[in-house]
Amino acid sequence: MPSSTEPLEPTTLRLRSCDGLTLVADSFGVPGGPLVVMLHGGGQNRHSWKRTGRALAAAGMHVVAVDARGHGDSDWSPTRNYTRDAMVGDLLTVLEQLGATPEEGAVVVGASMGGITGLLATATPGGDAIRALVLVDIVPRSESKGVERVMDFLGRHRDGFDTLDQVADAVAAYLPHRPRPDNADGLLRNLRQREGRWYWHWDPDLLTGLEDNPQARIAEMEAAAEALTIPVLLVRGGKSDVVSDEGAAAFLALAPHARLAEITAAAHTAAGDDNDAFTDAVAGFVATA
């Protein structure tokens, strides 16, 4: 366990993607502790995990939260390569750089897009460096209307915003279960200002890579789920419109050894909706995985 005087602020890492891009990450805790790699959802970045990263580091873990390609401070792909295969390749390359091996593997925590990446990586050569998996509100058979709502939000506002208040209004419309923030400064990590306008700081071309054959994606994810033998935790938002009771049950039928944790007051953005409950669920799982 780290001492009470040990700093819990992260240090910045620069890692290599599978095709030579630079991926930026935050490292919490002391290298040498149990490794936890955290992968955010589409349109988010590594800062989504800051509170959870600090808490897990305080419990003695080494947490690395990575900006996916095209997100946050990581490079955008010059070839617009945002496919599932590229994301999986990035994860496996990052794990290699962090020293994860089949003998000393990492726990991968993935939300939405990051969860798909983590699940598919377990069924890919090199995936045996993943010793446990946390899926945050993502299953193979997600609800199409909820997924469409997420994709619609990511695809909107390509022409940017005049003011931060407009940004806050857009987020409030997307997340109606959360109070609208009085201060929009917290949104700045997801924004960049160009020529007087505010733009989301992710590559809008990432949607090209994410728009694949849904049935093929479901089949690939179900095959990966059925092959799981490592410890697995599914965290579901009780108010989620992406993972239904039926979708969670279908996943648990494929991976009957998996655990389910439901965050009652949370929606699809479970980690941000009720971070304390989310962190408690993940910390308890990681400590025993």
Is the pLDDT score of 159 beyond 60? Answer: yes
For the chain, the structural domain boundaries read 11-144+213-288, 159-200
Q: Kindly provide the b/e burial profile for residues 272-284, where b requires at least 16 CB atoms within 10 angstroms of the residue's own CB.
A: bbbbebbbebbbe
Residue 220, pLDDT > 90, answer: yes
Give 193 or 5, the one with higher predicted confidence. 193
Model pTM score: 0.91
pLDDT tens track for 24-47? 999 999 888 899 999 999 989 999
pLDDT of residue 1: 38
> Residue 38: helix, strand or coil by DSSP?
strand
Q: Which residue has the higher pLDDT, 39 or 3?
A: 39
Cα(176)–Cα(184) distance, integer angstroms: 16
Q: What are phi and psi of 176, to 5 degrees?
A: -65, -15
Would you state the structure tokens that stand for residue 218, as one six-digit string?
């479901």
For residue 75, count CB atoms less than 10 angstroms from its CB and return exposed for 0-12, middle for 13-18, buried for 19 or more.
middle
Q: Using the 8-state DSSP alphabet, how is residue 46 labeled?
A: G
**Three-state secondary-structure class, residue 234:** strand
* Tokens 């590559």 belong to residue: 203
Per CATH, which fold does 11-144+213-288 belong to? Rossmann fold (3.40.50)
Residue 140 pLDDT more than 90?
yes
Q: How many whole angstroms from its chain centre is CA 213?
A: 21
Q: What's the confidence (pLDDT) of residue 2?
A: 40
